[in-house]
């Protein structure tokens, strides 16, 4: 499941909103290149290798924006902004044509409120 190429990029921007309120925006972009499972699509006998899967490259993008003051922090977020559904893991059950897949979590929107003690 390891891609030859993968990377993450994160960006933070902070700006005072008032004398006591600090605003922020955070963005993350992650990329994973194409990858495979197993060593080859066919066994030496020429039969399909059920442990072999080929996965396409994918990107995920997350955003967060909010404010902080004193020991409090409130933010809204959108994870997987593009609602990408790349296959992260796949299992083929031979000889039956049953396949199970695990994909990235769909777009998720939420609110957080934190307090630091």
* 40-64 confidence digits (pLDDT tens): 888 889 888 888 888 999 999 999 9
Handedness of CA 81, 37, 100, 50 (dihedral sign): positive
Residue 94 pLDDT > 80, yes or no? no
Of 117, 4, 19, residue with least CA distance to 57 = 4
pLDDT tier at 93, thresholds 50, 70, 90: confident
Nearest to 60 by CA among 76, 77, 81: 81
Instruction: Look at residues 69, 59, 60, 58 and name the one whose alpha carbon lies nearest to residue 22.
Output: 69
Indicate whether 79 pLDDT > 80.
yes
74 vs 36: which has the higher pLDDT: 74
């Amino acid at each position: 499941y390891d891609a030859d190429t993968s990377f993450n990029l994160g960006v933070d921007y902070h700006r005072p909103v008032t004398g006591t309120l600090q605003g922020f925006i955070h963005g993350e972009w992650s990329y994973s290149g194409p990858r495979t499972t197993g060593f080859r699509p066919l066994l030496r006998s020429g039969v399909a290798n059920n442990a072999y899967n080929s996965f396409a490259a994918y990107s995920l993008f997350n955003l967060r924006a909010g404010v902080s003051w004193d020991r409090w922090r409130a933010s809204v977020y959108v994870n997987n902004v593009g609602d990408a559904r790349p296959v992260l893991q796949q299992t083929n059950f031979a000889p039956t044509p049953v396949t199970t897949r695990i994909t990235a979590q769909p777009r998720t929107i939420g609110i957080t409120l934190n307090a630091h003690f």
